[in-house]
Structure 1
Amino acid sequence: MAKTTTKTLMISTTLAVSVLGSAVHAATQWNVSLWGQRRAFTEHVEKLAELVEQKTNGEFTLNLSYGGLSNNRENLDGISFGAFEMAQFCAGYHPAKNPSITVLELPFLGVNSLEKEIEVSMAVYNHPAVKKDLARWNAVLLMPSPLPQYNVAGVGDAPSSLEDFKGLRVRATGGIGAAMETVGAVPTSMSATEVRQSIDSGVISAASFAPHAHMSFGTVEAADWWTTNLNPGTVNCPVVANSDALNSLSDEHRNALLDSIDEALEYYVEYYNNQTMSKWWPTLEERNIQQVTFSEQELQRFRNSVAEPAANAWIQEMNEQGLPAEELYQLTIDTIAD
């Protein structure tokens, strides 16, 4: 009787271990490298994690890390060698690493909504040359982090004309930096997390950000003025997956991830429009921040001096790198105009 009980117990234990082993094997956890803190800029990633966990009954989870996995300028490198499975980065942080998507950061493209920013980004992301470009880093582009037009917040005397930007040290990356340079400003490229300290220490006097970032990174707390309608452009910040990790997912888990992207982006747009912007204007008023608005005539002069030269320079540089530059630029322009 004892032998039978022992044998039964051994069989039960073996089955339990086997079932447990299968459950452990079926569960998948991805590490996701972000930076800063949870904010409007990351709400689509937060929503994506929520949807994936729901759709897979907790078998597939995205563990979001705000700076604990990598420096934001090194997220693409981390993806390339599989240090984590998913990450967010901005093209302007390292244009040489992702030249194809810098077309989306050209100044004065004319994107006028978050929805259009998503549409044009996804059109470019799906171009074969862009996929090939990011594949060098073992990266698959999943979705953008759509941002509204940037504007400048600064300390000291507010600019009353474009000429007043001459000599101003301003944090501005990519095409926005190029645009600011044409009016005599001195653009400086730095990550968002470094900006407030740089303003406080006098390294820079102004920063170009979308509204949520002015709030999240504290520039609005230091600012004396803000430009309401300079609108030189925006930055493009994709969310990517490590291609090996994506390919190794089960069909169920891969579908749960990819099929959740549209819903995550819809949530992001709603959140940004209804939550972030509803706080932005009252914040300016509460802090008595001077709102600088330029005339349409002056803005048109700015656009004319920046947009076409920047596009031509980008096309020439990308052609020299072997990219189909005219094709990517025309795709961008056509999608915006559609």
Structure 2
Amino acid sequence: MDRRSLIKHAGIAGVLAAGVAPAAHAQATVRWRLASSFPKSLDTIFGSAEMFAKTVKALSGGKFEVSVHAAGELMPAFGVVDGLQNGTIEMAQTASYYFTGKNPIFAFGCAVPFGLTARQMDAWKNHGNGRKLMDAFLAEFNIKSYSAGNTGTQMGGWYRKEIKSVADLKGLKMRLGGGLFGEAMQKLGVVSQNMPVGEVYQSLEKGTLDATEFVGPYDDEKLGFNKVAPFYYYPGWWEGSAELEFYVNTKAYAALTPEFKAIVDAATIVAARDMGSKYDAFNPQALKRLVGAKTQLKAFSKDVLDAGFKASMEVFAEHEAKSPEFKKIHQDMRAFQRDQILWEKFSEQRFNAYMASVKV
């Protein structure tokens, strides 16, 4: 795709708003390496990194190229923050809550239990204090952040047995992607396992895992979880949305010309929007296929949701007591969320409830 057609596809207003010149002929050639935490098979998530690189190359007239590497090619899936810190790579694509072992604050960049929806997250990051607060935190890791796209509200995962009550969670060995919800689930008796998604199917098949969560129907179907765990629960209360992120080494970004910085800024917007729209388009059809293949779709009971909420609030309180910075970011997010919930009572919530009640 040439630069002219790409700009038309991405939306000329959005590209020009980011300050991108039609070409960058005077710039010296730049080569970056981007390490993803995800496999190539996930065309939604990994595809966002590919879209970013494609857009950068097109907008720069080939003067700026980004090579994209799947998890394990340059470094392990969970090694990308270390790679950015030591300058091994210029850029990464990841889920920030994978790194809560370094600091629990990382979770706010992606998802926290009973947190923001996709649109709320974008609003908080772009027009609230979210991006400013998170980039101030990430500066100590030599990282600047961008959205790489959002999955929307996720499913509650795949289980080898039914979860009829909170008691059924006790002793359950479950793969959880990372973040504060692992701590909340542990309070409910779940034995939390954090492992790359590529290792999960075999663990479920062998019975060394009892359950897993990942994203939603489209990605989960590709990974084949329905073949080894028949019960599919919703909603994923620990991920009202999950924002994947592009992490950029701050020194590498600072070394770019203003034109190339603007191209990076614009290309992330194109990639993030593409990912979100893919999930909205592909998930409904994938869910139909899964149910047609005898997946047993189940809703978490209110008792399970209430227990999850109580455990999550305990986790937040514990971290707030230990870290003023954690408390500042958490309280800012919750204040923003309260306003969003209030507005949505009079807008999308009521509209969606009505539309679900009628035949269209």
Note whether the superposition's TM-score is higher than 0.5: yes
Q: Where does the alignment leave 5 or more consecutive residues of structure 1 unmatched? A: 1-22
* 1:289 partnered with 2:299: no
Task: Say what the alpha-carbon RMSD is for the aligned residues.
Answer: 2.5
- 1:154 aligns to what? 158
Instruction: Identify if the C-alpha distance between structure 1 residues 263 and 90 changes in structure 2 by more than 3 Å, giving closer, same or farther.
Output: closer
Percent identity of the aligned residues?
Answer: 19
**Do structure 1's residue 309 and structure 2's residue 303 form an aligned pair?**
no
CA distance in 1 between partners of 2:245 and 2:45 (Å):
11
Indicate how the Cα distance of structure 1 residues 274 and 115 shifts in structure 2: closer, same or farther if over 3 A, else same. same
Indicate which of 235, 238, 243 corresponds to 2:250: 243
* Partner Cα distance (2:123, 2:221) in 1: 26
1-structure distance, mates of 2:150, 2:296: 27
Distance 1:291 1:115 in 2: 26
Q: Hey, what's the Cα distance between the residues in 2 that align with 1:63 and 1:271?
A: 22
Residue number among 207, 211, 216 corresponding to 1:206 in the alignment:
211
Distance 1:305 1:100, change over 3 A: closer
- Cα distance change, pair 300–285 in 1 and its aligned pair in 2 (3 A): closer
Which residue matches 2:30? 28
Three-state SS of the structure 1 residue aligned to 2:141 is coil
Q: How does 1:113-124 map to 2 (within 5 A)?
A: 114-122=118-126, 123=128
Distance change in 2, residues 1:333/1:223 (3 Å):
same
Partner of 1:331: 332
Give the number of equivalent residue pairs: 307
Unaligned ranges ≥5, structure 2: 1-24, 341-360
Aligned partner letter, 2:247: V
Instruction: Give 2:62's aligned amino acid.
Output: G
Task: Report SS of the residue matched to 2:150.
Answer: coil
Q: Alpha-carbon deviation of 1:315?
A: 1.1
1:44 & 1:160 partners in 2: Cα distance?
37
Corresponding residue of 2:270: 263
Shift of 1:304: 4.2
Alpha carbons of structure 1 residues 217 and 137: separation in structure 2 relative to 1, 3 Å: farther
TM-score (norm 2): 0.77
- Contact persistence 2:174–2:190 (CA under 8 A): yes
Counterparts in 2 of 1:120-135, with a 5 A limit? 120-122=124-126, 123=128, 125-128=130-133, 130-135=134-139
- Verify: 1:218 aligned to 2:220, yes or no: no
- Displacement of 1:125 in angstroms is 5.0
Distance in 1 of aligned mates of 2:33 and 2:258: 19
Change (3 A) 1:228 1:218: same
> Which structure has the bigger radius of gyration?
1
Q: Supply the distance in 2 between the matched residues of 1:198 and 1:136 (Cα, whole angstroms).
A: 36
Displacement of 1:143 after TM fit? 2.0
